[in-house]
A = this chain, B = another copy of it.
Amino acid sequence: MRQFEEFEEKTIARKNIFKGHVIEVVVDDVLLPDGKTATRELVLHKGAVGIIPITNEGKILLVKQFRKPLEKVILEIPAGKIDPGEETMPEKTARRELEEETGFQADTWTYVSSMYLSPGFSNEKMYMYYAEKLARVENPLAQDDDEVLELYELTLQEAKAEIEKGTICDSKTLYAIQYWELQLVK
């Protein structure tokens, strides 16, 4: 079994490329374990949450939205970026995002796992929660004003049909639906 030193890529130099609202881009020159050098293009991200919300009727709550990188409208679990000040309490972000995006609150929150979404070039980490005992809020937190969302409640079979059609097509939502199915079959 190799030791950490036999894997580690030491940063020799960093070039700052871009600092935006969502991402920061840098290029590192690295020293490989064998003494060669290489460059690494990195997208730095402040982290996010995803919520697997199951209604009292046993359906999953999904949001339909336009995704500019894909130039299409897709169905996803509610999710969102961790705001400044929320870094140490992702469940707070999850509760906020569920209410903002769906108008629902949940009574039961279960931490599922955290996951890096694209570790080859990005440090974006998503904390995933399973939310049950949902109730619609009378005056929910407002949506972000640059988001247009439409709410859907699907059975597992309906969700699988949307996967077949390609409307459900992102890794966090595909993971969420598998996780839900495993809860049902176990």
- What residues of chain A have their CB less than 8 Å away from a CB belonging to chain B? 1-2, 4, 6-9, 17-18, 20-23, 25, 27-28, 30, 32-34, 36, 38-45, 48, 64-70, 73-74, 76, 79, 81, 113-124, 126, 145-146, 148, 150, 163, 169-172, 174-175, 178-179, 181-182, 185-186
Contacts and interface: CB of A to CB of B under 8 A. Distances in A.
A182 B182 CA distance: 7
| Number of identical monomers bound together in the oligomeric complex | 2
Q: Is the interface of A mostly helix, strand, loop or mixed?
A: mixed
A104 B18 CA distance: 40
Given A68-B42, A69-B121, A175-B178, A170 B116 contact: yes
A17 B22 contact: no
